[in-house]
A and B are shown apart, each in its own frame.
Chain A
Amino acid sequence: MSYVHPYQDAGFVLQYLVHFDQLCTDAGLDEINLELALSVLEEAGKVGSEILAPLNRAGDAEGARLDGGDVIPSPGFREAYDQFAAGGWLSLRVAEAFGGQNLPNALSTAVNEIWHSANMAFALCPMLSQGAMESIAHHAAPALQAAYLPGMASGEWTGTMNLTEPDAGSDLAAVKTRAVPEGDHYRISGQKIFITWGDHSMTPNIVHLVLARLPDAPPGVKGISLFIVPKFLVGGNGEPGARNGVRCLSLEHKLGIHGSPTCVMEFEQAVGYLVGEANQGLPYMFTMMNHARQTVGLQGLAISERAYQQARQYARERLQGTRRDGSRIPIIQHPDVRRMLMTMKSGIEAMRALALVAAAEIDRTHYATDPAQKARHAARVELLTPVVKGWLTEMAQELTSLGIQIHGGMGYIEETGAAQHYRDARILTIYEGTTGIQALDFIGRKMLADQGAALALLLDEILETRDEFSTVFAGTLAAEQLELALNAGQAARQWVLDNSTTDKALSATVCVHFLLLFGYLCGGWLLAKGALQAKALLDTGAGDTDFLQAKLISMHCYQEQLLPRTQACLAAIRAGSTHVMAMPEDRF
């Protein structure tokens, strides 16, 4: 099944919702603009469609496997990786000093959508490299940066993140891996699990970032340090030399992403180098967290887009039902199939808008020089990140499931490929912090902690859009629903603020409803903003009329069909914790 990047919608969001040119000007990135961004997306689109997408099925059917001590990648992945690395795609975000292109996160995010749509299992490998590079670039000493970043930026080496242990999943305070000082380095011993692309034979070296405890470390989260542990020790010449004490013990058998090797890693007296200060491992991880979590949210968008393209093609080709004149009816003409396709299409457009707008807030935080502005954008990043991660990945469950539903019985058969997207998508609400973790973060650290101040600012911005929207789209259901959804958002915020002191379990019980409410609301808000732009363009006769009219239809459909879900969320929030917590444990 082929994949074509929806470059027009991505371009629309970058131009009219992200204001990409303005972002670059404000950031002092003189040579970067929308035109360049679009040519980058176009070339990335070719790599995605022609190199990565054709390997997606093979990666599912024949996953990575462990042969002796080596992890053998899925068929074609090695060659694809070589081409991908040679294209310089890993260097997109990296500083020029280390051989990178220093491009903004908003563009990187738009490009990453292509990789994850084309082949999510493959794209996890460069995604982990990017995360590891960011950690090293932010926190490691200059000598370590010089030793590891150029090799990773060129794609010659890949990177991994080794956090989870059998007893330390969501609760990283329980990390047991030990690090013992020895001269200018440390000896790392312990076991890590669920390590994505933890081992493979596609590159001559792999740079592991590992959380471990020093012998004198305080207990809990305050005693965790971060280490670089290369698979092969890097010699004075900068080339990989002797094998380090780290190996892959086994691979997990998973529901999806079969092409991505999920490793159990054993560290046995492995040489490691401390990143930054001792006992700061968790704060370092947290600085990466926003980026990593938004990227997983983006995966939710990407896999939904892929499932949509597949379902759309099937709906056009599959004939069911006969007209009086004897001609057959493609199922895309059946109203219920239309409902499903429109749910997918409009939901995806809302998800893309939110993913890119949130990604641009990371840029605006990074590049802002005025402290007050920096703080404002940083607060917005903090607020939106759990919504991007939680809502986009939960939406992906529904949308990839609809992708199967549109195929009918054929969707349940693996050969059509629709089922793969559904299986691949299932991990997204789990890794990098489950939906529950995102929702707790959102309602607690991001809302209750500042008494709802940052959320109030967001609601004020939505109010501004609503005012303009209800004038321009006066009398439409969309305007009515946006009004109702905004009211629901305001009411939910107030309800939680007012009642969480009396109902101690309130926030933890209703947090997922709370997160989803704001996910749907943000989606409706950004589609409304986009629709105002589309309408203005149509009124002046500028732009691609067909595309802009389709944007308006998508927006109406979303506001009418998906936005009312905010009301159900609000009702569940108001119900509080009583009957969720009332059942005696032994009655379950």
Chain B
Amino acid sequence: MKIVVAVKRVIDYNVKVRVKADNSNVDLNNVKMSINPFCEIAVEEALRLREAGVASEIVVVSIGPKQAQDVIRTALAMGADRGIWIDSADAEMNALDIACLLGRVVEAEQPGLVLLGKQAIDSDNNQTAQMLAALCDFPQATFASAVTVEGDQVVVTREIDGGLQTLALDLPAVISTDLRLNEPRYVKLPEIMKAKKKPLTTTTPEQLGVHLENTLSLLRVEPPAERSPGIRVESVDQLIENLKHQAKVL
């Protein structure tokens, strides 16, 4: 079985996010960028399925400017087999654009399984996997914390508000990964060297026949208000009093 994994290049989770002076967007100039942690978990899960003998090939896709290749190389160094870079240049895109592009890749590659992070840590949309499943007319399981392939089905444990939900899906299917699914491996030095030689093909939205719509426009970005310092209260009674009358949460 072939697995397609989508990966996104985002601001590194260690970096303190700064807003541009004109509030037009987050300042990404010279900021360290890395593979989205949820996507990294998706790559790891694909690798584990291959190691378990379930998958035979792992194809990694990323969309963006030239630097998007960096996160494909990261995934290849983790162990994925080949990469596809969709060169979107500097185009602004929304989740539906991304899902359409990925849909064309899925159409061409015919994978048994598509794995995506449940959301990217930059804009936290949590939309692409769901849209992609609809476009491909595949069953979907989001927020996966366990994935097992059994014959023509995949059994997925989902983290939902009320606890855990287990679904059986017919393959091919789309799965979006949650944080507790696995702990991604450390990249091995020889794999970094090998990743340079693994095939990475380039395509464009035009070649895939997708016209980018981007129906969203970003109006303004503001940093959250700074937290004011806390106060120490004398007693539990006073705490309840303050919660009732000052904070007005009780």
Answer yes or no: are A and B bound together in one complex.
yes
Q: Which of the residues A7, A40, A86 comes within 8 Å of B192, measured between beta carbons?
A: A40
**Cβ–Cβ < 8 Å partners of A44 in chain B:** 189
What 1/0 flags go to A280-317 for Cβ under 8 Å of B? 00000000000000000000000000000000000000
Which of B37-61 touch A at CB < 8 Å?
A: none
Q: When chains A and B are docked, how far (Å) is the Cα of A46 from the Cα of B186?
A: 8
Task: State the Cβ distance, B140 to closest chain A Cβ, in Å.
Answer: 31
Task: State the Cβ distance, A136 to closest chain B Cβ, in Å.
Answer: 20
Q: Assess whether B189 is in contact with A36, with CB atoms less than 8 Å apart.
A: no
Task: State the Cβ distance, B89 to closest chain A Cβ, in Å.
Answer: 20
Q: Assess whether A88 is in contact with B190, with CB atoms less than 8 Å apart.
A: yes
Q: When chains A and B are docked, how far (Å) is the Cα of A44 from the Cα of B197?
A: 20
Q: Which of the residues A51, A87, A544, A547 comes within 8 Å of B188, measured between beta carbons?
A: A87
Q: Assess whether B189 is in contact with A543, with CB atoms less than 8 Å apart.
A: no
Q: Assess whether A89 is in contact with B192, with CB atoms less than 8 Å apart.
A: no
Find the residue from A47, A51, A87, A547 having the highest chain B CB count within 10 A: A87
Q: Assess whether A39 is in contact with B73, with CB atoms less than 8 Å apart.
A: yes
Interface of A is mostly: helix
A547 and B189 contact, Cβ closer than 8 Å, known pairs A36-B196, A39-B73, A39-B77: no
Q: Assess whether B192 is in contact with A47, with CB atoms less than 8 Å apart.
A: no
What 1/0 flags go to B161-192 for Cβ under 8 Å of A? 00000000000000000000000001111111
Q: Assess whether A31 is in contact with B30, with CB atoms less than 8 Å apart.
A: no
Closest to A83 in B: B186
What 1/0 flags go to A526-547 for Cβ under 8 Å of B? 0000000000000000011111
**Cβ–Cβ < 8 Å partners of B29 in chain A:** 544
A4 and B14 contact, Cβ closer than 8 Å, known pairs A43-B187, A83-B186, A87-B186: yes
Closest to A33 in B: B196
Q: Assess whether B30 is in contact with A43, with CB atoms less than 8 Å apart.
A: no
Q: When chains A and B are docked, how far (Å) is the Cα of A188 from the Cα of B132?
A: 70
Closest to B34 in A: A42
A101 and B190 contact, Cβ closer than 8 Å, known pairs A4-B14, A31-B196, A36-B196: yes
Q: Assess whether B30 is in contact with A545, with CB atoms less than 8 Å apart.
A: yes
What 1/0 flags go to B75-86 for Cβ under 8 Å of A? 001000000000
Interface status of B225 (Cβ within 8 A of chain A): no
Interface status of A362 (Cβ within 8 A of chain B): no
Q: Which of the residues B30, B73, B74, B189 comes within 8 Å of A87, measured between beta carbons?
A: B189
**Cβ–Cβ < 8 Å partners of B191 in chain A:** 88
What 1/0 flags go to A80-95 for Cβ under 8 Å of B? 0001001111011000
**Cβ–Cβ < 8 Å partners of B73 in chain A:** 39
Interface status of B247 (Cβ within 8 A of chain A): no
Q: Which of the residues B186, B189, B196, B197 comes within 8 Å of A91, measured between beta carbons?
A: B189
Q: Assess whether A547 is in contact with B30, with CB atoms less than 8 Å apart.
A: yes
Closest to B229 in A: A327
Task: State the Cβ distance, B113 to closest chain A Cβ, in Å.
Answer: 27
Closest to A43 in B: B187
Task: State the Cβ distance, B61 to closest chain A Cβ, in Å.
Answer: 20
What 1/0 flags go to B2-28 for Cβ under 8 Å of A? 000000000000100000000000000
Count A/B pairs, Cβ under 8 Å: 49
Q: Which of the residues A43, A50, A546 comes within 8 Å of B189, measured between beta carbons?
A: A43
Interface status of B193 (Cβ within 8 A of chain A): yes
Closest to B12 in A: A42
| Number of residues on chain B facing chain A (CB within 8 A) | 18
A43 and B192 contact, Cβ closer than 8 Å, known pairs A87-B186, A545-B30, A547-B30: yes
Q: Assess whether B186 is in contact with A47, with CB atoms less than 8 Å apart.
A: yes
Closest to B197 in A: A31
**Cβ–Cβ < 8 Å partners of B188 in chain A:** 86-88
A39 and B30 contact, Cβ closer than 8 Å, known pairs A46-B186, A51-B186: no
Task: State the Cβ distance, B109 to closest chain A Cβ, in Å.
Answer: 26
Q: Assess whether B14 is in contact with A43, with CB atoms less than 8 Å apart.
A: no
What 1/0 flags go to A40-60 for Cβ under 8 Å of B? 100110110011000000000
A544 and B30 contact, Cβ closer than 8 Å, known pairs A36-B196, A39-B77: yes
**Cβ–Cβ < 8 Å partners of A47 in chain B:** 186
**Cβ–Cβ < 8 Å partners of B14 in chain A:** 4
Closest to A38 in B: B70
Q: Which of the residues B30, B70, B74, B189 comes within 8 Å of A88, measured between beta carbons?
A: B189
Q: When chains A and B are docked, how far (Å) is the Cα of A222 from the Cα of B99?
A: 74
Q: When chains A and B are docked, how far (Å) is the Cα of A424 from the Cα of B105?
A: 54
Q: When chains A and B are docked, how far (Å) is the Cα of A180 from the Cα of B69?
A: 60
**Cβ–Cβ < 8 Å partners of B189 in chain A:** 40, 43-44, 87-89, 91-92, 101
**Cβ–Cβ < 8 Å partners of A101 in chain B:** 189-190, 193
Q: When chains A and B are docked, how far (Å) is the Cα of A563 from the Cα of B41?
A: 49
What 1/0 flags go to A82-112 for Cβ under 8 Å of B? 0100111101100000000100000000000
Q: Assess whether B192 is in contact with A91, with CB atoms less than 8 Å apart.
A: no
Q: Assess whether B190 is in contact with A91, with CB atoms less than 8 Å apart.
A: yes
Task: State the Cβ distance, A129 to closest chain B Cβ, in Å.
Answer: 15
Task: State the Cβ distance, B73 to closest chain A Cβ, in Å.
Answer: 7
Which of B178-217 touch A at CB < 8 Å?
A: 186-193, 196-197
Q: Assess whether B186 is in contact with A36, with CB atoms less than 8 Å apart.
A: no
Closest to B78 in A: A43
Q: Assess whether B190 is in contact with A39, with CB atoms less than 8 Å apart.
A: no
Closest to A7 in B: B32
Task: State the Cβ distance, A64 to closest chain B Cβ, in Å.
Answer: 24
Which of A1-58 touch B at CB < 8 Å?
A: 4, 7, 31, 36, 39-40, 43-44, 46-47, 50-51
Q: Assess whether A43 is in contact with B190, with CB atoms less than 8 Å apart.
A: no
Closest to B193 in A: A101
Which of A108-134 touch B at CB < 8 Å?
A: none
Task: State the Cβ distance, B35 to closest chain A Cβ, in Å.
Answer: 11
**Cβ–Cβ < 8 Å partners of B197 in chain A:** 31
**Cβ–Cβ < 8 Å partners of A7 in chain B:** 32
Q: When chains A and B are docked, how far (Å) is the Cα of A40 from the Cα of B70?
A: 12
**Cβ–Cβ < 8 Å partners of A89 in chain B:** 189
Closest to B184 in A: A46
Find the residue from A7, A31, A39, A92 having the highest chain B CB count within 10 A: A39
Q: When chains A and B are docked, how far (Å) is the Cα of A453 from the Cα of B114?
A: 66
Q: When chains A and B are docked, how far (Å) is the Cα of A47 from the Cα of B189?
A: 11
Find the residue from A46, A83, A88, A547 having the highest chain B CB count within 10 A: A88
Q: When chains A and B are docked, how far (Å) is the Cα of A148 from the Cα of B235?
A: 69
Q: When chains A and B are docked, how far (Å) is the Cα of A45 from the Cα of B244?
A: 48
**Cβ–Cβ < 8 Å partners of A51 in chain B:** 186
Q: When chains A and B are docked, how far (Å) is the Cα of A51 from the Cα of B186?
A: 10
A36 and B192 contact, Cβ closer than 8 Å, known pairs A43-B77, A43-B186, A43-B187: yes
Q: When chains A and B are docked, how far (Å) is the Cα of A83 from the Cα of B187?
A: 11
Q: When chains A and B are docked, how far (Å) is the Cα of A101 from the Cα of B192?
A: 10
Find the residue from A4, A7, A36, A51 having the highest chain B CB count within 10 A: A36
**Cβ–Cβ < 8 Å partners of A86 in chain B:** 188
**Cβ–Cβ < 8 Å partners of B186 in chain A:** 43, 46-47, 50-51, 83, 87
Closest to A47 in B: B186
**Cβ–Cβ < 8 Å partners of A39 in chain B:** 70, 73-74, 77, 192
Of the A-B pairs whose beta carbons lie under 8 Å apart in the complex, a sample of 7, sorted by A's number, is A39-B74, A43-B187, A43-B192, A46-B186, A46-B187, A91-B189, A91-B190
Q: Which residues of B line the A interface, CB within 8 A?
A: 14, 29-30, 32, 70, 73-74, 77, 186-193, 196-197
The 3 A-B residue pairs with the shortest CB-CB distance, nearest first, are: A544-B30, A88-B189, A43-B187
Given A39-B192, A88-B188, 4 more pairs with CB closer than 8 A:
A43-B189, A47-B186, A83-B186, A87-B188
